[in-house]
Chains A and B, each alone.
Chain A
Amino acid sequence: MSIFGKVNTSSSVASTEIDWESTYKDLLPRVYHYFCLRINDSLDAEDLTAITFERAWRNRKKYQKDLGAFTNWIFGIAGHILADYYRKKRSENLRIAENSITELSSRAVEEDFAHKDQFNRIVSILASLPEREREIFSLKYGAQLNNREIAKIMNLTESNIGTILYRIVSRLREQLEK
């Protein structure tokens, strides 16, 4: 039995209660990947993921019957934590965008080397993108939100999001194939 309380199994139906254990397993990598794509540091990404969950988990019962709202909420928290992280880093005069590609590769010892290399290349290409595009990309491939959810967060239209993502992915593919 889940330590978080046994509840009904379906996490997709709004009217039933959420299985928090499976929700944790689903959301953890999404939050972690979101941070990885934004800050390029796996250990810092772990720290920020932990902070996000610790902050969100206490009040999760408020969203007992609405996983969608809980997911949006947890990524809202992640956004705030990321902003705090950037502020702190700025005060330390560190440039996040130029940071830790090598650090990531040296720390993530469990990852497959080929994937790791690919990820590092993707991250280095993303580092040259504007902030807004990096955020959209991270929400799509890290947080795994759909275009509609991203559009809502970014105050853009869904088709705008689709266009921007298409452009980024094309660019990535093009540069990775070089």
Chain B
Amino acid sequence: MNDNFIYKSLPKVRKEFEQSLYRKISIDTLNLQKKYSNPKKIRWHQVAFIVVGLLTLLAWSQIQFIVRYVPIGDLWLVEFNKVTSSEPAPTVFIPTPLATQRAWDGKTMPEIRIMNIYFPSWIPSDFLPIVPPQEMLSSHQTIGGWRNDSEEEIRLFITPFAGGMRPYAPAGMYKEVAINGQPAILIYGRLALRDKDNPQAQREWDEYLGLQLHWLLKNNYVYTLETFGAYVSEADLIQMAESMKEASWFSTPVP
């Protein structure tokens, strides 16, 4: 096919145009190289993007760490979303004189200047009284302890109600129960170290470590029964709490 006449008829590119475009894209190329050799300038939309990202991260972290105060009877429970924590327990305690005193199973009760303390009159079978560990740094006072042959324990603590005691638990890990018709908080499990050998390890809520029962008695002390192990049932713990009677050994001096 003879088509040379078409090629011959095509207009020539003007030299001025060819050269000016060459210069223009050369300059653009140099500018482009210069631009990429310099640190990249931050544009407004990039700044906005970063700000939005930070705000989203902040909102997410707030949701993760948010706590809710749930009233149960006269007590407040701190409900938190996060089931792991590297922080100390969020419970709020205010130290009282009781904290420095020693208490145990009732037979040799320390010299506590409380006139009407309560003590369970019913203990689950196979549990025998023990001397509970002394917790010098705690604001709550251990006043009783029991252990069975499987090394499972029950401990009884008291905390002045005025001290603002706040039990804590993740959502779904607690419920309201009644002790002799009065509202109480039953909590499943507690925070435990992920690595038992490392005290700095992150802690994680373990619902199978035992139960906690918190309730307020008329002497304005919050009583806490806590189990360590799976032996004691929810019903046993409530029965134990309902069996609380005013003890008569408070003037017993510390041995």
Instruction: Given A4-B29, A54-B24, A58-B28, check contact A29 B13 (CB 8 Å).
Output: yes
Say yes or no: is B17 at the interface (Cβ < 8 Å to chain A): yes
State in angstroms the CA–CA spacing of A176 and B135 once bound together. 111
23 CB contacts below 8 A, A to B, read: A28-B21, A29-B10, A29-B13, A33-B10, A36-B11, A49-B17, A50-B24, A54-B24, A58-B28, A104-B11, A110-B12, A110-B14, A115-B8, A119-B10, A122-B6, A141-B3, A141-B7, A166-B1, A169-B6, A172-B6, A173-B2, A173-B5, A176-B5
Asked if A3 and B29 sit within 8 Å, CB to CB, the answer is yes
Chain A residues with CB under 8 Å of B9's CB are 115, 118-119, 122
Number of A-B contacts (CB under 8 A): 72
Q: Is the CB of B11 within 8 A of A115?
A: yes
Contact check: which of A4, A49, A104, A169 meets B21 at CB < 8 Å? A49
Main secondary structure of the interface of B (DSSP, over half): helix
Tell me whether A73 is interfacial, beta carbon within 8 Å: no
Interface residues of B in 10-57 (CB under 8 A from A): 10-15, 17-18, 21-22, 24-26, 28-30, 32
CB closest residue in chain B, given A32: B13
- B215–chain A nearest beta-carbon distance, Å: 73
Interface size bracket, B side: 20 to 34
- Given A54-B28, A58-B32, A122-B6, check contact A111 B1 (CB 8 Å): no
Contact present for A54 and B5 (CB under 8 Å):
no
Contact A57 B29 (CB under 8 A): yes
CA A164 to CA B21, docked complex, whole Å: 34
In the complex, which residue of chain B has the Cβ closest to the Cβ of A141? Answer: B6
Asked, given contacts A28-B21, A54-B28, A57-B29, whether A169 binds B1 with beta carbons under 8 Å apart, the answer is: yes
CB neighbours (8 Å) of B2 from chain A are 173
